[in-house]
Amino acid sequence: MKYIILLGDGMSDYPIDELGGRTPLQAARTPNMDYLAAHGTVGLAKTVPHGLPPGSDVANLSVFGYNPVECYTGRAPLEAASIGVALSKGDVAMRCNLVTLESGVAGLYMKDFSAGHIKTEQATRIIQHLGAELGSDEFKFYPGVSYRHLLVWKGGNDSIKTTPPHDITGKAISPFLPAGSGQEKIIKLMTDSQTLLASNLINPAVTSIWLWGQGKIPSIPTYQEKFGLSGSVISAVDLMKGIGIYAGLDVINVPGATGWIDTNYKGKAEFALRSLAVKDFVYVHVEAPDEAAHNGMLNEKIRAIEEFDELVVGTILKNAAKLGDFKILVLPDHPTPISLKTHTSDPVPFVLYDSRHTGDSGVKSYDEDSAKRTGLFVEDGFKLMEMMAGA
């Protein structure tokens, strides 16, 4: 048996007037996900436990089959694993975004949490420059991918309160600055970066760093220990790769995978099929719908969902049978409503398809309403993987 998780980050949404009261999932053309829904098990799952933030870190840990209440310490430690940064026991890792701030009547505003989706080569040069000027024995900068980078705070405070920059697009930043023990040091790094970047000629869109997602090293069992499975993870995002590393999975880097709407969708599916030829499990993550929603780009979100369906789900569905019996779990990690431009904790629609049992489920399409009408609700989202790995 082969086990396949296909995750369209942030696909689910709220009804939108512009779409006649439909969601982007309902408006998008998704024949492959609709087929899985018509012949599989469809329902809603709560991937964000009560009391935890609705981030991709928490939600994807759930989808991987881990209970975030037991193992979640923060986003940045997972990303540290992806870029090869080994944390010591007292280290606090922090996500270091390159962002665009602009002046307004209430001070500085968050104009773009991604600095125009800066290219990795430019971003690396900027992070290296910041590290040379602002780094110390206490603070060290590490380059990642595009706008997503890492700061390690030796002996830092992981209980400091921070805010994801994608939650405050268009808002004044002053109410969302880090707060708690050590805040002065973190805020100083951010303001000092603004001074240094004021004359930045590498990419003028980068005007500041934004520090958030802090945490210490987590303890996570491997997939072999937990499920008895070997496998791989495919994503353009360091967070997902980091979870995969902690889970003992191979990380597959696909040429042209960007984490944006121009990503290599089909390449991800093709590399997944190659991996399944020798392994039991693969987790394919596509960031594009989430990024489009964070930017309020409705047409791009619909297009990302359609390309995910055609080039990822479709390619897998057409070729997986060559590998024998298989199960596919398709879902988002969390909703990212266009109207909010950020994540919510609402349950997400899922479909679990088993190639051995393909009767008519009575469900006509894969979307939020269809999933709700089935009446199936998985309160603990981390149990979806247990459902898939069961008989």
Confidence band, pLDDT 50/70/90 cuts, at residue 391:
low
Give the pairing type, strands 208-215 and 231-234.
Answer: unpaired
pLDDT of residue 169: 93
Model pLDDT for residues 171-200, shown as the tens digit of each residue = 999 999 999 999 999 999 999 999 999 989
Model pLDDT for residues 282-339, shown as the tens digit of each residue = 999 999 999 999 999 999 999 999 999 999 999 999 999 999 999 999 999 999 999 9
Question: What is the C-alpha to C-alpha distance for residues 23 and 302, in angstroms, rounded to an integer?
Answer: 9
Question: What is the C-alpha to C-alpha distance for residues 149 and 83, in angstroms, rounded to an integer?
Answer: 9
Distance of CA 373 to the CA centre of its chain: 27
Cut 0.75: pTM above it: yes
Model pLDDT for residues 126-154, shown as the tens digit of each residue = 999 999 999 999 999 999 999 999 999 99
Model pLDDT for residues 78-94, shown as the tens digit of each residue = 999 999 999 999 999 99
* 3-state DSSP of 8-58: ECCCCCCCEHHHCCECHHHHCCCHHHHHHHHCCEEEEECCCCCCCCCCHHH
The tokens for 378 are 């998985």
Mean confidence (pLDDT) of the chain:
96
319 exposure class (CB count in 10 Å sphere: 0-12, 13-18, 19+): middle
